[in-house]
Amino acid sequence: MNAPDLRRRALLLAGGSLTLAFSLAPAWAQGEGGAKGKGKLPGSLEKEPWLDAWIRIDADNAVTVFTGKAELGQGIKTALLQVAAEELQVNPARIRLVTADTARTPNEGYTAGSHSMQDSGTALRHAAAQVRFILAGMAAQRFQVAESAMTLRDGVFEAPDGRRATYGELLAGRQLHLRADGKAPLRPRATHTVSGKPLRRTDIPAKVTGGAAYVQDLRLPGMVHARVVRPPAQAARLESADTDSIAHLPGVLKVVRDGRYLAVIADGEYRAVKAATALARATGWSVPASLPGTKNVPADVRARPAEAMPILERGAAQAGGKTLSATYTRPWQLHASVGPSCAVAQLVDGRYTVWTHSQGVYPLRKALAELLGVEEDTIRCIHVEGSGCYGHNAADDVAADAALLARGYPGRPVRVQWMREEEHAWEPFGPAMLVDVRATLGLDGRIADWEYAVTSPSHNNRPGKAGNLLAATHLARAFTPPPGKPIPQPEGGGDRNAIPYYVLPNARVTHRFQQNAPLRTSALRSLGAYCNVFAIESFMDELALAANADPVAFRLRHLDDPRAIDVVKLAAEKFGWNRGKPGARRGRGFAFARYKNLAAYCALALEVEVARETGFVRIVRAVAAVDCGEVVNPDGVRNQIEGGIIQSASWTLLEQVRFDQRQVQTVDWASYPILRFNQVPQKLEVHLIDRPGQPFLGTGEASQGPAAAALANAVAQAAGVRVRDLPLDRARMRAAK
């Protein structure tokens, strides 16, 4: 054991918290200052090193665990509970978990990028291990026995003679206000009883029985309802608004007009809806023809100015051999949450409380403070679950609506929920992207040269600044959105996964970043990885075909990471890649990616049937293999991977935003259809490769890219023709002959 000598530990109790005396073993002394200069602390402990910011234990042995991450429907609460319960050796059912709240939890930025297990899971794991470790030392001291002689069960130590001490008794109401050092021994995987085992999600019983589960379900005393009337387009000018005619409608408490920001507050929700509808009819707008339209998305993307940023230059360009080139595109797409975004805000005595399903309560608070012109510490943002968001949707925007309207209607909680048309037209979109790729095959059947350029606007316009909040851009004193920024490699934004994970001795990859986009864009689940993996993995199939190689064998020929090879082989084996041939109208496709080239590995094989007459693509079966490091909740991982595959299939087969030169036209589920039960796979399997001891790698975004490419590859085989522009919808499949 590389742990400090517990017997030399002395503890001082002071001021309600427990502080370690400094006459300690050198290891502890190092641990105290370890955050600086001695290598980074694990996960989010680096940002928030105090143990009692993460774990608090009351005198009655009640355990509370804090995380700055938020439940988005991905099951993070349950997985974090498992991690903490495992290291604390406390029954997970007994732990209270507090999630993102600016008044109570660590600031862990956004719940995004499949980072929660890496950031918060890792922090909690080490914090919990250290808490257990310190308490074990205290118990041993109290009992005057060796630690190894004690047993620990559900937060209770027992000495050989039967004396017992609970965590709570040992701390006696004080908290461990100590710096984390990341050095306490972790429980070996073989001894795990909670982590790595399936644990049912704690949030599901309420969700299936009508319990209060969402911000939409908040009913605060005196709450009023508001709805916003948006302009027809971002460039629209308000010519007239007859607000007086609205003020007298039943239940209307207030009509708001600030620049081109229009809203109504009413005593009932449907009355607010009706009044907003009436107000929309009582307004006149002029809408300039300022948009490029979506008649030819690829041409539009290519035509817009871009700044070329090389992100990979390896080897030297090679000539000779067989050279292939292709262009792949992805259209504008939506998060399209089933529940429109919602928030409740209340202003009391100069202090705001905002209940929000934002992915980042702290960055939201900063943006709201700027918007409202108040100090950050006068605002408390509390995360309450909403409908799944799949990235930066309108969650922050509706929180801004609620806060602005609460400012003008102080004292009462103001609830705002967007209407379907607003959500579809105004959420930040996943941007249209374009990929040009060219490769040369060597005589050895390997890729001798690779040249790749991805063109994309920003995928990162999250708040932090008021100008990132939709309402702020419509006020009389409007805030300007800050310029879109690229996310640097290795994670990348539009260029996420633009560098192939394959062994390519000669390769050049360029990110053509577009600072300006015709519509607001931001992070949609997996960001650029969706399009880049679709392009790279489609092209790998085209190259395999040109090399007369089996697509799986061709990929393996270019992989050297054993974990990548393992998922590719496992997916192929479980699918039966080498068994039989697809029937008539059927095709099989394969794809692989390691998300961000540094997170979870995912390989996918699937089979489709394409009806040539109707263009309808049916997914017969899909088999995925995933390596996300040490698995905490196997069923939670499967649920995320399955969901990612089906959502990606929906994007890939059906989805595209349409707008003309003036405004967005896809404003409901009829004009922007998503996958329904008739088109989801007949059969879907997810196989996991558990890697005990390896870092946690999030799985929320691992399968989007591979699913798109495997689908495109299968469709290409079934239809006998390759479609390189998404979506592969019926119209396009009928036309592709």
Partner 1 sequence: MSYELQVNGKKHRVDTDADTPLLYVLRNDLALNGAKFGCGLGQCGACTVMLDGAPVMSCIVPVSVVGARPVRTVEDLGTAAQPGVLQQAFIDEQAAQCGYCIAGMIMRAQALLDRHPAPTDEQIRSHMMPNLCRCGTHMRILRAVRRAADTMGKARRGDRP
Is residue 135 within a helix (H) or strand (E), and if so which, with residue range? helix 122-143
Q: Which is nearer to partner 1, 154 or 635 (CB)?
A: 635
DSSP H helix total and E strand total for the chain: 19, 26
Which two structure tokens, joined as six digits, stand for 307?
Answer: 């700044």
Residue 454 half-sphere exposure toward CB, CA atoms < 13 A: 31
Among 4, 34, 121, 386, binds partner 1 (CB under 8 A): 386
Q: Which is nearer to partner 1, 319 or 670 (CB)?
A: 670
358: nearest Cα among 100, 65, 63 = 100
Q: Which is nearer to partner 1, 222 or 305 (CB)?
A: 222
**Minimum distance from CB of 334 to partner 1 (Å)?**
10
Among 105, 111, 597, 647, binds partner 1 (CB under 8 A): 647
Among 340, 494, 500, 551, binds partner 1 (CB under 8 A): 340
Among 537, 609, 642, 701, binds partner 1 (CB under 8 A): 642
Residue with tokens 């090399």: 547
DSSP summary character for residue 117: I
Candidate ranges 30-38, 104-112, 320-328, 332-340; the one touching partner 1 (CB under 8 A): 332-340
Q: Which is nearer to partner 1, 75 or 431 (CB)?
A: 75
Q: Which is nearer to partner 1, 187 or 618 (CB)?
A: 618
What is the x/- site pattern for partner 1, positions 237-256, by CB under 8 A? -------------x------
Distance CA 45, CA 35 (A): 9
Among 175, 650, 656, 663, binds partner 1 (CB under 8 A): 650
Distance CA 329, CA 311 (A): 20
Q: Does 676 bind partner 1 (CB under 8 A)?
A: yes
Contact 247, 391 (CB under 8 A): no
Candidate ranges 44-52, 137-145, 335-343, 601-609; the one touching partner 1 (CB under 8 A): 335-343
**Minimum distance from CB of 361 to partner 1 (Å)?**
18
Contact 259, 234 (CB under 8 A): no
Among 668, 692, 731, 735, binds partner 1 (CB under 8 A): 668
Q: Which is nearer to partner 1, 564 or 711 (CB)?
A: 711
Alpha helices per DSSP H over 262-378: 269-281, 297-303, 361-372
Among 36, 219, 477, 581, binds partner 1 (CB under 8 A): 219
133: nearest Cα among 255, 28, 17 = 28
Q: What is the total residue count of the chain?
A: 737
Which two structure tokens, joined as six digits, stand for 211?
Answer: 């319990």
**Minimum distance from CB of 417 to partner 1 (Å)?**
6
Distance CA 344, CA 355 (A): 5
What is the x/- site pattern for partner 1, positions 70-99, by CB under 8 A? --xxxx------------------------
Q: Which is nearer to partner 1, 204 or 503 (CB)?
A: 204
Q: Which is nearer to partner 1, 493 or 700 (CB)?
A: 700
Among 16, 477, 678, 693, binds partner 1 (CB under 8 A): 678
Among 46, 635, 660, 725, binds partner 1 (CB under 8 A): 635
Contacts of 482 (CB under 8 A, 6+ apart): 461, 465, 467, 468
Among 13, 21, 204, 299, binds partner 1 (CB under 8 A): 204
Which two structure tokens, joined as six digits, stand for 232?
Answer: 């027809």
Candidate ranges 69-77, 132-140, 471-479, 720-728; the one touching partner 1 (CB under 8 A): 69-77
**Minimum distance from CB of 580 to partner 1 (Å)?**
23
Alpha helices per DSSP H over 282-374: 297-303, 361-372
Among 189, 674, 689, 690, binds partner 1 (CB under 8 A): 674
Q: Does 614 bind partner 1 (CB under 8 A)?
A: no
Residue 735 half-sphere exposure toward CB, CA atoms < 13 A: 9
Distance CA 732, CA 737 (A): 10
Q: Does 313 bind partner 1 (CB under 8 A)?
A: no
Candidate ranges 187-195, 606-614, 635-643, 724-732; the one touching partner 1 (CB under 8 A): 635-643
Distance CA 313, CA 82 (A): 43
76-88 vs 122-143: helix crossing angle, rounded to 10: 30
Contacts of 82 (CB under 8 A, 6+ apart): 92, 194, 195, 197, 199, 632, 633
Candidate ranges 168-176, 212-220, 437-445, 582-590; the one touching partner 1 (CB under 8 A): 212-220
Q: Which is nearer to partner 1, 51 or 419 (CB)?
A: 419
Q: Which is nearer to partner 1, 540 or 628 (CB)?
A: 628
Distance CA 663, CA 665 (A): 6
Among 246, 400, 472, 645, binds partner 1 (CB under 8 A): 645
Among 571, 605, 646, 714, binds partner 1 (CB under 8 A): 646
Interstrand relation of 164-166 and 156-158 (parallel, antiparallel or unpaired) = antiparallel
Distance CA 678, CA 694 (A): 39
Q: Is 725 exposed, middle or buried (0-12, 13-18, 19+ CB in 10 A)?
A: middle
Q: Which is nearer to partner 1, 555 or 618 (CB)?
A: 618
- HEC profile for 48-104? CCEHHHHEEECCCCCEEEECCCCCCCCCHHHHHHHHHHHHHCCCHHHEEEECCECCC
**Minimum distance from CB of 398 to partner 1 (Å)?**
13
Among 132, 174, 201, 330, binds partner 1 (CB under 8 A): 201
Q: CA 538 → CA 102, 322, 726, distances in Å?
A: 44, 17, 12
Q: Does 305 bind partner 1 (CB under 8 A)?
A: no
**Minimum distance from CB of 642 to partner 1 (Å)?**
6
Which two structure tokens, joined as six digits, stand for 351?
Answer: 């202090």
Site for partner 1 in 408-467 (CB under 8 A): 417, 419-420
Interstrand relation of 683-688 and 616-627 (parallel, antiparallel or unpaired) = parallel
Residues that bind partner 1 in the complex, under the rule CB under 8 A:
72-75, 200-201, 203-214, 216-217, 219, 250, 268-271, 273-274, 336-340, 385-388, 390, 417, 419-420, 635, 639-640, 642-647, 649-650, 668-670, 674-678, 680-681, 684
